[in-house]
């Protein structure tokens, strides 16, 4: 593959960031076989904000759409939200999330990230967790970034089943299936009963 000209590289860089806004400068440098410094200069010339700013901007836009819980109750930053379909959030594990003696994240933070995402995805004024089946598949350490992806599996009556999978660099760390209770009934006919044997 011949070396790209600066103009070609910047065009490609712009497209890459548009399609994957949460790509790091390090990953871009690897993709384009240039130094991180070159990527930063390219971004400056193209007026593309750094990753942290891009995340903040997208997160703010998504949060305006959340209906079922106030902003301060969302654990992690919501970076993608299609109500009643799918959602993604990220949580950077900081000092306050870990046990001081071993720098391992406390499980309830991973649960809270997944659970608040399952609430945020519900297109309703009120959504509560009725039941959760969860699995922690590996410990998460200080400094790691947890990406949680939620998707609605099904909605029946006043219940919605949401599946959440959390990863650190594509490695599964947590998975959960949340049964969410929603205040508005999806059922058209109030008197239909489930006659299952």
The verdict on 178 and 84 lying in the same domain is yes
CA distance 9 to 58: 25
What pLDDT was estimated at residue 24?
86
The verdict on 89 and 151 lying in the same domain is yes
1 part of a folded domain: no
The verdict on 39 and 99 lying in the same domain is no
The verdict on 74 and 112 lying in the same domain is yes
Contact status, residue 151 vs residue 162, Cβ threshold 8 Å: yes
pLDDT confidence bin for 158, thresholds 50/70/90:
confident
pLDDT surpasses 60 at 156: yes
pLDDT surpasses 60 at 89: yes
pLDDT tens, position by position, 96-105: 999 999 999 9
107 part of a folded domain: yes
Tokens of 39: 């990527």
User: CATH code at 140?
Assistant: 3.10.129.10
Range(s) of the domain holding residue 135 = 66-182
pLDDT surpasses 80 at 18: yes
The verdict on 75 and 38 lying in the same domain is no
CA distance 30 to 141: 25
The verdict on 42 and 78 lying in the same domain is no
The verdict on 103 and 175 lying in the same domain is yes
The verdict on 172 and 96 lying in the same domain is yes
What pLDDT was estimated at residue 1?
59
What pLDDT was estimated at residue 59?
66
User: CATH code at 40?
Assistant: 1.10.10.10
14 part of a folded domain: yes
Between CA 121 and CA 108, with CA 124 as vertex, the angle to 5 degrees is: 45
The verdict on 18 and 96 lying in the same domain is no
Tokens of 184: 């508005």
Contact status, residue 121 vs residue 62, Cβ threshold 8 Å: no
197 part of a folded domain: no
* Beta pairing class for 159-168 and 171-182: antiparallel
The verdict on 10 and 94 lying in the same domain is no
Contact status, residue 124 vs residue 67, Cβ threshold 8 Å: yes
173 part of a folded domain: yes
The stretch 34-43 carries a mean pLDDT of 94
- The number of folded domains in the chain is 2
pLDDT confidence bin for 185, thresholds 50/70/90:
low
Task: Tell me the three state secondary structure of residue 188.
Answer: coil
CA distance 69 to 133: 22
pLDDT tens, position by position, 99-146: 999 999 999 999 999 999 999 999 988 889 999 999 999 999 999 999
pTM of the model: 0.68
Of residues 43, 80, 47, the one with CA closest to residue 63: 80
The stretch 17-28 carries a mean pLDDT of 84
pLDDT tens, position by position, 163-182: 999 999 989 999 999 999 98
Tokens of 16: 């890459």
Tokens of 129: 């967790």
Query: What mean pLDDT, rounded, does the chain reach?
Result: 87
pLDDT confidence bin for 53, thresholds 50/70/90:
confident
Cα 94 to the chain's mean position, in Å?
Answer: 17
H or E stretch at 173: strand 171-182
55 part of a folded domain: no
């Amino acid at each position: 593959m011949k070396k790209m000209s600066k103009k070609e590289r910047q065009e490609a860089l712009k497209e890459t960031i548009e399609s994957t806004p949460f790509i790091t400068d390090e990953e871009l440098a690897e993709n384009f076989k240039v130094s991180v410094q070159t990527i930063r200069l390219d971004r400056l010339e193209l007026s593309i904000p750094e990753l942290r700013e891009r995340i903040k901007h997208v997160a703010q836009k998504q949060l305006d759409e959340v209906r079922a819980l106030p902003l301060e109750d969302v654990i992690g930053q919501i970076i993608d939200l299609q109500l009643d379909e799918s959602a993604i959030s990220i949580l950077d594990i900081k000092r306050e999330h870990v046990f001081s003696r071993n720098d391992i994240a406390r499980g309830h933070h991973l649960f809270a990230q997944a659970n608040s995402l399952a609430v945020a995805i519900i297109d309703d004024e009120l959504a509560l967790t009725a039941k959760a089946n969860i699995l922690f598949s590996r410990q998460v350490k200080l400094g790691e970034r947890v990406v949680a992806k939620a998707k609605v599996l099904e909605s029946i009556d006043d219940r919605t089943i949401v599946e959440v999978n959390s990863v650190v660099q594509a490695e599964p760390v947590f998975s959960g299936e949340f049964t969410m209770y929603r205040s508005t009934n999806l059922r058209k006919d109030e008197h239909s009963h489930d006659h299952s044997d």
